């Protein structure tokens, strides 16, 4: 059975409404949400093709190790973020460069 969900388009920050059509646990397509106050039933080319973003999304907590995305668990990822953010010196303009780097 097909399901339709109203949501926000993931393509940019405008916030257009789209409808997601899914079936058997997979996103099958999208179409504009006609009553949405921002896009009023119209989507740009990126919005119409946003179904590809659902196909390639990350579905579990992940980390980059040796330039490769590997699955992890929530606790490990949250602890790593806490550790990195806790090491920031707010007076150091380049501090975020160290936090964002990947292993």
**The dihedral formed by the CA atoms of 64, 66, 72 and 77, expressed in degrees to the nearest 10:** -50
- CB-count exposure of residue 2 (10 Å: 0-12, 13-18, 19+): exposed
Express each pLDDT in 52-97 by its tens digit: 776 667 778 998 889 888 999 999 999 988 988 888 777 777 766 6
Q: How far is CA 60 from CA 19, 51, 73, in A?
A: 24, 19, 8
Q: pLDDT digits over 2-26, tens only? A: 999 998 988 889 999 999 898 988 8
pTM: 0.53
Give residue for tokens 């109203």: 6
Model confidence pLDDT, tens digit, residues 78-87:
998 898 888 8
Q: Domain map of the chain by residue range? A: 3-55, 62-100
Assign domain 3-55 to a CATH class.
mainly beta
């Amino acid at each position: 059975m097909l399901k339709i969900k109203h949501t926000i388009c993931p393509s940019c920050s405008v916030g257009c409404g789209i409808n997601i059509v899914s079936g058997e646990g997979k996103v099958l397509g999208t179409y504009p949400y006609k009553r949405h106050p921002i896009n009023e039933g119209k989507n740009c080319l990126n919005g119409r093709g946003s179904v590809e973003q659902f196909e390639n999304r990350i579905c579990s907590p992940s980390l980059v190790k040796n330039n490769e995305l590997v699955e992890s668990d929530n606790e490990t990822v949250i602890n790593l973020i806490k550790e990195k953010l806790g090491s920031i010196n707010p007076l150091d303009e380049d501090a975020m460069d160290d936090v964002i780097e990947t292993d």
